[in-house]
Structure 1
């Protein structure tokens, strides 16, 4: 059984003697319940590159983990890049949805075209270089075509930014177990993103965009894989075969 995050389900499977692959998320998840799920699992699966793992992760957990970068997002075949577009990705409970913030950023940085996807209020004064798209069906295409991406450190967005090798300004959001803060720290340490723990003043965005572009794409690009899902599926089949053989011998 592959258990997606739930400690309770992992422990139930253990009580029923069902071998599990437990999916690990980012952050400092080393409390007693998580440790019990890690110990009880046959294997662990992490949907990110090993270099993005939290610095405090014990070696025993790392050795038990299969890292599957690229499992969350595959790169698009082709998408023309709009180099002057700063794409702000907003999710539920994520980046601020106050349109005034992005209107001020657009006013202070007129050479950039600001495009916001996700929920965002309409500012009192719209700017010509500001687009509020709301919820969209083609977020992947917009990320692929953006000149720079601004957003939190959730697995979905980080996976997409990595897949499309985008300059990234990361503003980590508050999450349990420091999930986003942990990932943002690793991105910064690897030179893969510019990290701001708080939203900067409007006039600072231009300099941050320039810094993000100056990082290049090599550091962030090597954190992904174009065959993430296939690699994970191949590994899971191998795990299932090995587990089946062990159970047959012990029957």
Structure 2
């Protein structure tokens, strides 16, 4: 049995769990304050929220425990309830492993209950004291990005237990850039006759710092380009088709969206949105440095967009092969299953 903790912020943590669960042979229980997702067949432990306190009250309640943790405000009943639920689930089910995506506090709690922990490694500057605590106690650090993308400044002990498997996407295993076309229909993909070049603009569920006016200015500055916008307010009916039909994808720097674009192998501009620890800035710089896509730290000025789109087209999508192997979820699942098997044998020997 694997427990898998899913943070409630954004959509990428949940999507990653679903991609992994499809590949795992070990049963998985989801642990999250998010509701059970549609189509989830495994067990699901609904946790209390831990963010009900207003920001000013949380700051007064020493939410960081004097800098040792990220979020543990004093006397928060939701925090107590979720901790109790996780500990009770561990006591009742005796899991072989808990995967944490992401929470320092859940990682520490699980390990204090005697369960080995695998922590999802995150982009950005993660050498602060709380992250160091979680990364130090983890049995492995599962990185949904390629080796070398985000490990500058890491101690040798973290490198030694790193599983850099590349992007984890629900589209792993599909042929990049291909979309099924109904019989008799003309393809609507890049280069289709009479169709303007298309930008697919992707937003995530974690919030955005780019205004509608800035997007409108980018559209106006790029005549000859059709912009199609997808996000929480305008979800895609078929994201793979949207990706395959785009000449350029403009996406925020969230790990899940970047993994989807990488799996599709589309030319792209990755635009960082404001996040703690400069997470998306680190990703935008990494895809630029590795030659996978054009990466920028902030939303560019309108007059920069014609050149950025042309750069993305010229770079193409082949560089994404360094980011997405097409089997990242399968490789990660195989490592997790092997770790479960090892710990299960150890548990059986201890009980005999």
Q: Give the TM-score range, shorter chain.
A: 0.7 to 0.9
What secondary structure does 1:199 align onto? coil
- 1:87 and 2:200 aligned: yes
Query: How far is the alpha carbon of 1:95 from its aligned partner?
Result: 5.3
> Is the 1:153–1:181 contact (alpha carbons within 8 Å) kept by the matching residues of 2?
yes
Distance 1:227 1:91, change over 3 A: closer
- State the partner residue of 1:40: 137
Q: Which of 111, 125, 131 is 1:14 aligned to? A: 111
What is the CA RMSD across the aligned residues, in angstroms?
A: 2.1
Distance 1:191 1:244, change over 3 A: same
> Is the 2:169–2:263 contact (alpha carbons within 8 Å) kept by the matching residues of 1?
no
* Larger deviation, residues 179-188 vs 87-96: 87-96
> Is the 2:272–2:299 contact (alpha carbons within 8 Å) kept by the matching residues of 1?
no
The structure number with the bigger radius of gyration is 2
Q: Distance in 1 between the 2:102 and 2:127 partners? A: 13
> Is the 1:51–1:223 contact (alpha carbons within 8 Å) kept by the matching residues of 2?
no
- State the partner residue of 1:188: 288
Q: Distance in 1 between the 2:300 and 2:122 partners? A: 28
Q: Which of 310, 319, 325 is 1:225 aligned to? A: 325
Distance 1:90 1:247, change over 3 A: same
Counterparts of residues 132-147 of structure 1 (less than 5 Å): 134-147=234-247
Query: How far is the alpha carbon of 1:59 from its aligned partner?
Result: 2.8
Q: Distance in 1 between the 2:346 and 2:203 partners? A: 47
Q: How many residues end up aligned between the 2 structures?
A: 237
> Is the 1:29–1:177 contact (alpha carbons within 8 Å) kept by the matching residues of 2?
yes
What TM-score, normalized by structure 1, do the two folds share?
Answer: 0.85
Q: Which of 135, 141, 150 is 2:250 aligned to? A: 150
What secondary structure does 2:220 align onto? helix
> Is the 1:97–1:119 contact (alpha carbons within 8 Å) kept by the matching residues of 2?
no
Distance 1:200 1:23, change over 3 A: closer
Distance 1:200 1:35, change over 3 A: closer
Q: Distance in 2 between the 1:119 and 1:6 partners? A: 24
Query: How far is the alpha carbon of 1:195 from its aligned partner?
Result: 2.1
